[in-house]
Amino acid sequence: MSAAKVKMREKKMRNQPTSVQYPSTPLSVESSTQNGGDTPVTGGDVGHGPSDTHPSTERQKSSHHQSGWVRGHQKDGGSYAKEMPKYITAGGFARARAAEVSAMLKAVKKTTGSCHVFAALPKHMRRRAMSHNTKRLPHRLREVANRMRQKSLQAGSKKKKEQAKNKSRKARRRHGNLLLEFNRRQRKNVWLETHIWHAKRFHMVKKWGYCLGDRPTYKCYRPCYRAMSTHCLLQDLSYYCCIELQGEEDKLLAALSQLTSKETGPTFAAALCISGRRQGSVVIYRAGCYPSQPLGPVTFLWRPRTQGSSHRQLWIWAHPTIKQDLLPELQRVCQCCEAVVPPVVPVVTPAEVAPTPEPELKPQKTHGAIQIPRTKRKRNCKDASGPPAKKILGDGSRSPTTPVTWRSSSTGIVINDLTMEIVRYRLIGPQSHSVLAETLEAATACEEMNKSQPSPLWWPEHCKDESKMKLHQQQADIFHILKDIYSTGELPSGAVLGLAVDDPRLTLPTKKVKALPCVKQAQEVDEEKRRELMLRGVPEHCCQSFLWEQSVRDNVTDNKISEQELNRMRSDVLVPGSRLSPTPLQGRVPILLVHQPGKQVGHEMSSWGAGWDLLLPKGWGMAFWIPLVYRGVRIGGLNMSLKHSQNKGAPNFPHDYPDCPAGIDFQEEQEAELLDKFKRRPPAKRTNYIKHGCLAPFRCPWQQLAEEWELIAREGGEEQKRDSQTQTTTDADTVMEEAMTSHTAVTKPQSRFTVLRSRKSLRLLSGWCRPTTSKGQRPSRAGEVPPLDSSAMTSFLTEHGMSLVWVRLSLLSKGKPELHAMVFVPSTEDLKLLSNKSDSSGPQELAHKNHFKSRMKRRKKGSKKTATSSLSSDKTEGKGSDLPSASEPNLTTSSEDPKSFSESSTDLILGLWPDPLPSITSHCSRVTLGWVTQGDFSLSAGCGEALGFVSVAGLVNTLLNQPKEHRGILLLRNPTSLHYRFAKINIEV
């Protein structure tokens, strides 16, 4: 028997008596000790014969080898004898039996960890319910079971907390418990008001502190494109953060001018100069840091002026990733250092809480209250002193002591954080105005109303003022004119319309209908009004809305009619399905309609993707969402926002802003996600990017690209002016070899790359590209752009040498661009191939040699005999070492140092280049210009289109060396392919 089995047997039998053995030899002192299990007895106690005193060793051994009954495995293979003893000692035998009985009783009464009281019951009486309910046990065992239960609870409370008991499904689905669970799940990621609707139909992702819908569970790529092109696509953009600024107009413009630049386009002040336009978009920079350190794009909306007052109100809509950097900059330029902490007010439970649950206002205080219903089935009276907070509308994830208002004592500017205070929906498509006209109706006046008594509601007080009702009637007339307009793109961009509408739930249709334009034979007066609206836009005084007022927004949110009350009112109507008459006083909502222009760059597909933004007070999200869905709109998520920007040819944030902090973080997260996905596949089933000549398939090293092209332009500028593209490649190789061999030569300034956003420079660069007419583009008019020569290139690169430019690439033949596809400079032979064969698909890249694979095999064979013992000791030293020379294409790792490569090869991933990367521009047979950030087959253009960035220095150098008939032709190659595709570059301003 092994030692482990012996220990196990001893552990099991430690409470059992010693086995009784009956040897064949006469009883002796030793045998009596074994038989009786007691101390040896003297000779006077029992009489023995002469032959029974001391048996010899041979007789003991022979007795063990006799045949007989064997109990268990004996150490020497012996057995027990069959013969019974001839003599027995009464006293010793009785004592031995008494010890056995006491040991058995002790073993039965002792309870171990694996034993329970109900084990003493017969099998037909044992039940699982007895383990937690002692009342099911017999009376004789209940006391012991209760003591054991108390002992186990005391021991468990010291080691670990009591496990939570799950409620039944019926209890979990109760309204209060369901909302408490929703609040708990929103502590890390905030839910929008339409979250539950999206969660049932969309794939949800957790981004930027929110839980957002990414894409629907059904196929929708082409239907969503058709909706954006012919009907309407609806999106929920309530996760955008709204920041409100109030103060004098000149002080606001003076402060905001420090964050923007006139070179990039219209600023905050430019929107005030355009008649009928109160909104726009602009790129925000850190104060005084243009063109470096951008924060990202924002959209803004000005409140119309009031007569005789210079006080203005501004809303700035920013992406959630910009808010943490934008707020400190606004506080610094506006000198708003005084934080106003709001007073802690008691929680007010709104009328409707079911469709839009939000996180609790005090998560640190309600944490214990949420644990109580999970650990107990019933709430005690002392725990139910106050009703739990079911839902707080708005950004309830913030603590009540967190300041949301900042004031400036010197400038008088006030900054308010209105995050999650305003619901924002975006309708994209030519029939967006038709959907709004079918869904919304202008608010009806309160006819039967006592004007002498004040009303707690905002609309009755509003109806008492005749000037306000006159303005409301003018806004309603303009809204009715929208029904007669055929397409949303016919309206001027940037129009804003304020309006008060009835509760859209009152006119909800019984089934889904598709809203279509109502084009009818109108009178001449209506035709004139329609033409004036299409030419001049919405008048300034009609842009007013009570949505700007905080008190009105709170009043509308608090007095909203609940679904239960609304259904009760519907049941009292005589004709089922008819509208409630009169309209309830609390059923009026102030809204804002902001027109969003479509595609404004280029000459094809003008105004594609135009639509409206619908701004609502918080708490009314689902009340407007369901009526809009019932008008036949298509719902889109984050994925459709990306496709919308691709078809418009506009950069999407944060995907296409590599110089912003949010864009840098996004690229790092995307690289980690793609790399993890790449590692999950086996090496034989994934792409070998080293053989494809792709250095960075999961990221775009923009900084290295800009630095290398700056070196090329600095060292070989004069030679590249007259040499061919082949000579350009040779120059790039020589320059980068010197830079990689001698680290002292690469002493670059600490300047970081920037994205070219100057409108003047972009127009000049766009004219040099000379757009073709093959894709519906008109050629640039002669005489507007100065010619491209050596002096013009030198002066242009002096200012924008370390810059990247946003470009759109259209494939001239078949092909589908992919993410992180590479953009190359075509050689002279490639351009001849294009001129000879108009339908040429492009050249081929020769497969690269995988140096790392052969080196790894060689080192493995050589180090099997020498480095097996030393690897274990040197592994800790080699983990932190970098790859000094194995990363270069010219691998100089010699065979006399096998340990260094074996240690460095452990960090390599088969098929990927390790860091640091070699020369990017001269790695392939064609010179690299940039990468693609968005690429797909464009349904609007009918060909493959890609959006990305290229180096300004490389693009200008390429355009200078290309012939005029082929200027602007580049090569595009996907990371998983060796085939080059011809593409036409477009820079649209």
pLDDT of 715 reads 75
DSSP string, 846-876: PPPP-HHHHHHHHHHHHHHHHSHHHHHHHHH
Enter the tokens of residue 386. 């106050």
Single-letter code of the amino acid located at 134: T
In this prediction, residue 112 carries a pLDDT of 54
Dihedral sign from CA coordinates of 710, 716, 720, 722: positive
Asked whether residue 118 is domain-assigned, the answer is no
Domain end (from 625, 648, 671):
648
Name residue, tokens 């009152």. 506
Same domain, 590 and 686: no
In terms of domains, do 535 and 679 share one? no
User: How far is it, in rounded angstroms, from Cα 927 to Cα 648?
Assistant: 29
CA 324 to chain centre: 17
Across the beta sheet with 190-191, the strand order is 190-191, 210-216, 202-207
Q: What is the pLDDT of residue 830?
A: 85
At residue 579, the pLDDT reads 80
Q: Would residue 439 count as lying in a domain?
A: yes
Burial class (CB in 10 A: 0-12, 13-18, 19+), 121: middle
Query: Is 19 a domain residue?
Result: no
List average pLDDT for each run of 10 residues in the chain, which is 989 residues long. Answer: 78 60 44 45 41 43 44 51 73 87 81 61 73 80 85 70 71 87 87 93 93 92 91 94 91 91 86 69 88 90 82 92 92 83 50 38 34 40 42 61 82 90 93 91 78 79 86 89 82 86 90 79 64 82 89 91 89 81 85 88 80 93 94 93 89 91 93 92 88 91 91 69 47 45 41 87 86 46 68 85 91 90 90 71 86 70 56 42 36 39 57 87 90 90 90 90 86 92 88
Q: Identify residue 420 by its one-letter amino acid code.
A: M
What are the b/e assignments for 539-562, b being 16+ CB within 10 Å?
A: beebbbbbbbeeebbbbbbebbbe
- The tokens for 778 are 């008109």
- Per-residue pLDDT at 594: 92
Q: By three-state DSSP, how is residue 957 classified?
A: helix
Are residues 712 and 602 located together in one domain of the fold?
A: no
For 346-357, letters b (16+ CB in 10 Å) and e give ebeebebbebbb
Under DSSP, is residue 804 helix (H, G, I), strand (E, B) or coil?
strand
Please name which of 797, 813, 825, 808 lies closest in space to residue 966, comparing C-alpha atoms: 825
Question: Do the domain assignments include residue 818?
Answer: yes
Residue 306 belongs to some domain of the structure: yes
Quick one: pLDDT at residue 404? 85
CB 79 within 8 A of CB 21: no
> Do residue 633 and residue 533 come from a single domain?
yes
Residue 982: closest CA among 782, 830, 852 = 830
Read off the CATH number of the domain in which 252 is found. Answer: 3.30.70
CA distance 822 to 587: 56
User: What pLDDT was estimated at residue 807?
Assistant: 92
Q: Say if residue 441 is in the same domain as residue 415.
A: no
Q: Mark whether 617 and 676 lie in a shared domain.
A: no
Which of these three, 419, 436, 467, is where a domain ends? 419
CATH code, domain with 819:
2.40.30.110
Q: Is residue 177 part of a domain?
A: no
Domain that holds residue 491: 216-238+424-448+457-517+526-560+584-648
Q: Phi, psi (5° rounding) for residue 834?
A: -70, -35
Distance CA 472, CA 463 (A): 10
Q: Are residues 232 and 279 in the same domain?
A: no
Looking at the domain assignment, is residue 530 inside a domain? yes
Helix (H, G, I), strand (E, B) or coil at 315: strand
Q: Which residue among 619, 648, 677 closes a domain?
A: 648
Instruction: Tell which residue, 925, 926, 933, 854, has the closest CA to residue 895.
Output: 854
Question: β-strand 233-236 against 634-635: which pairing, if any?
Answer: parallel
Instruction: Give one DSSP letter per residue of 462-516, joined into a string.
Output: HHT-HHHHHHHHHHHHHHHHGGG-S-GGGSPTT-EEEEEEE-GGGG--SS-----
- 903 in a structural domain: no
Both tokens of 962, joined, read 């290309």
pLDDT at position 175 is 85
Q: Are residues 470 and 616 in the same domain?
A: yes
Q: Do 682 and 631 sit in the same domain of this protein?
A: no
The Cα–Cα gap between 824 and 954 comes to 10
Domain total in the chain: 3
**Same structural domain, 636 and 760:** no
**Residues 227, 247 within the same domain:** no
**pLDDT in the model for residue 865:** 54
Domain shared by 551 and 665, yes or no: no
List C-alpha distances in Å: 857 to 205, 723, 900, 913: 42, 42, 14, 17
